[in-house]
């Protein structure tokens, strides 16, 4: 018995040293591109140093016992009865408790450190939706510079405020060693300081639907002056873009409270979606042109109730609330926006007006 114990102990120690060494030599992660990376990689190494020997010890004892104490052919004796061993039981409860608690405290300290507020932090709003990321840089005055790729200045702290338009996603930049879930209904945050110029992947790390694997974009970390000229150009374009009067009417009169329209940033579902309306309106009422259909839906909503929606869902007094010019502007805008948001080319497929214009 004593000989077996010595043998298995020596074997477990030797294997632990070898396999832990191998696990530390393996290059698990991509290059480090943020100030968070060092601490996270060290944490990972400590986890390896603590957990690999335990795994190796358990597996060594299992394999050793299976081989050394296996029943030989013809041997059908039972083993000796085993009684409890209080000292052993206390040890196998106390040691894991101490280990797991210590690791949890250490991990908490690392996370707390990462989340410390830093001076001069830049704010980026991240919007997740099946199956793409969108990035918004809030500007003074309430507008935001929008981008489909993430651009960041090197060496400047950045905080990401992350929202999702649909399901749970996870915002992950492996080179930064940051990852944060997006949760419907709340804003989650993470932050870091990019420390190395280059292009890296922004990945969704939470299975979020059929297109999950395609939910990948790029982050471009650039020198501060190059970033300043990028955001400056975007800011100018934002200021130069003529405001869309129809969108103004749409938001002013609360249309966004009930309808989805990508062009206006509306995503409500109480009323029918206006995205892609150009493709379906003539199946609902083949007598009207798109413009006439939209106009009638606004001034006399009960006449054209979309199946599946309530007849009294849409207020019937818009014809008196909006001026004639506002209605014209809104109709013109919705006819354009509802076809452009369903994808390229759909505007060309809109059939010519078939019904009587008003």
- The nearer residue to Cu ion, 172 or 250, going by C-beta atoms, is 172
Dist CA 138 CA 199 (whole Å): 23
Contacts by 232-236, CB closer than 8 A, 24 or more apart: 234/137, 234/145, 234/147, 235/139, 235/145
Name which position in 52, 56, 126, 204 contacts Cu ion (CB under 5 A): 204
CA 102 to chain centroid, in Å, comes to 30
Q: Which stretch binds Cu ion (CB under 5 A): 139-147, 203-211, 257-265, 341-349?
A: 203-211
Answer yes or no whether residue 154 interacts with Cu ion by CB under 5 A: no
> Contact 133/127 with Cβ under 8 angstroms?
yes
- The nearer residue to Cu ion, 164 or 338, going by C-beta atoms, is 164
205: enclosing H helix or E strand: none
- The nearer residue to Cu ion, 132 or 268, going by C-beta atoms, is 132
Q: Which stretch binds Cu ion (CB under 5 A): 135-143, 199-207, 246-254, 270-278?
A: 199-207
- The nearer residue to Cu ion, 204 or 292, going by C-beta atoms, is 204
Radius of gyration of the CA atoms of the chain, in A = 31
- The nearer residue to Cu ion, 212 or 336, going by C-beta atoms, is 212
- Residues 156-175 close enough to bind Cu ion by CB under 5 A: 169
Answer yes or no whether residue 295 interacts with Cu ion by CB under 5 A: no
Q: How many CB atoms lie within 10 A of CB 292?
A: 20
We find the least distance from the C-beta atom of residue 271 to Cu ion, in angstroms, to be 27
Answer yes or no whether residue 327 interacts with Cu ion by CB under 5 A: no
- The nearer residue to Cu ion, 56 or 208, going by C-beta atoms, is 208
Residue 89 φ then ψ, to 5°: -65, -40
Dist CA 95 CA 102 (whole Å): 11
We find the least distance from the C-beta atom of residue 214 to Cu ion, in angstroms, to be 9
Q: Which stretch binds Cu ion (CB under 5 A): 37-45, 64-72, 193-201, 212-220?
A: 212-220
> Contact 299/287 with Cβ under 8 angstroms?
no
Name which position in 33, 124, 178, 208 contacts Cu ion (CB under 5 A): 208
- The nearer residue to Cu ion, 193 or 208, going by C-beta atoms, is 208
7: left (phi over 0), alpha (psi -120 to 50) or beta: alpha
Q: Which stretch binds Cu ion (CB under 5 A): 133-141, 215-223, 265-273, 325-333?
A: 215-223
- The residue whose two tokens read 């060594």 is 60
Strands of the sheet containing 144-147, edge to edge, are 144-147, 132-138, 122-129, 158-164, 188-192
Answer yes or no whether residue 126 interacts with Cu ion by CB under 5 A: no
We find the least distance from the C-beta atom of residue 212 to Cu ion, in angstroms, to be 5
Q: Which stretch binds Cu ion (CB under 5 A): 96-104, 198-206, 224-232, 290-298?
A: 198-206
- The nearer residue to Cu ion, 209 or 232, going by C-beta atoms, is 209
189: enclosing H helix or E strand: strand 188-192
DSSP conformation class of 255:
G
Q: Strands 158-164, 122-129: parallel, antiparallel or unpaired by DSSP?
A: parallel
Answer yes or no whether residue 306 interacts with Cu ion by CB under 5 A: no
Answer yes or no whether residue 215 interacts with Cu ion by CB under 5 A: yes
How many residues make contact with Cu ion (CB under 5 A)? 4
Contact residues: Cu ion, CB under 5 A: 169, 204, 208, 215
């Amino acid at each position: 018995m004593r000989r077996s114990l010595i043998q298995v102990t020596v074997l477990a120690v030797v294997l632990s040293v070898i396999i832990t060494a191998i696990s530390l030599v393996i290059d698990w992660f991509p290059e480090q591109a943020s100030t968070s990376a060092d601490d996270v990689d060290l944490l990972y190494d400590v986890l390896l140093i603590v957990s690999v020997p335990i795994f190796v010890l358990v597996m060594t004892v299992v394999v050793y016992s299976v081989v050394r104490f296996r029943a030989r052919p013809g041997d059908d004796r039972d083993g000796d009865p085993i009684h409890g061993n209080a000292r052993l039981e206390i040890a196998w409860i106390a040691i894991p408790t101490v280990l797991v608690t210590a690791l949890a405290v250490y991990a908490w300290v690392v996370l707390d450190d990462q989340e410390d507020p830093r001076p001069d932090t830049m704010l980026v709003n991240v919007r997740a939706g099946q199956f793409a990321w969108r990035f918004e840089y809030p500007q003074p005055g309430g507008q935001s510079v929008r981008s489909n790729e993430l651009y960041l200045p090197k060496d400047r702290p950045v905080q990401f405020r992350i929202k999702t338009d649909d399901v749970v996603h996870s915002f992950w930049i492996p080179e930064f060693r940051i990852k944060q879930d997006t949760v419907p209904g709340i804003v989650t945050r993470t932050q870091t300081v990019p420390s190395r110029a280059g292009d890296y992947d922004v990945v969704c790390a939470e299975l979020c639907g059929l297109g999950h694997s395609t939910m990948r974009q790029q982050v471009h970390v650039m020198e501060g002056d190059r970033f300043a000229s990028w955001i400056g150009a975007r800011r100018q374009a934002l200021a130069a873009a003529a405001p869309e009067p129809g969108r103004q009417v749409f938001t002013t009169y609360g249309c966004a409270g009930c309808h989805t329209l990508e062009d206006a940033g509306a995503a409500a579902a109480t009323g029918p979606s206006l995205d892609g309306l150009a493709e379906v309106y003539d199946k609902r009422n083949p007598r009207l042109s798109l413009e006439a259909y939209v106009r009638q839906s606004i001034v006399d909503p009960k006449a054209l109730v979309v199946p599946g929606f309530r007849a009294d869902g849409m207020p019937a007094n818009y014809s008196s609330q909006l001026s004639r010019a506002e209605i014209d502007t809104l109709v013109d805008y919705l006819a354009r926006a509802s076809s452009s948001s369903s994808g390229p080319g759909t505007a060309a497929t809109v059939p010519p007006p078939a019904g009587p214009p008003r």
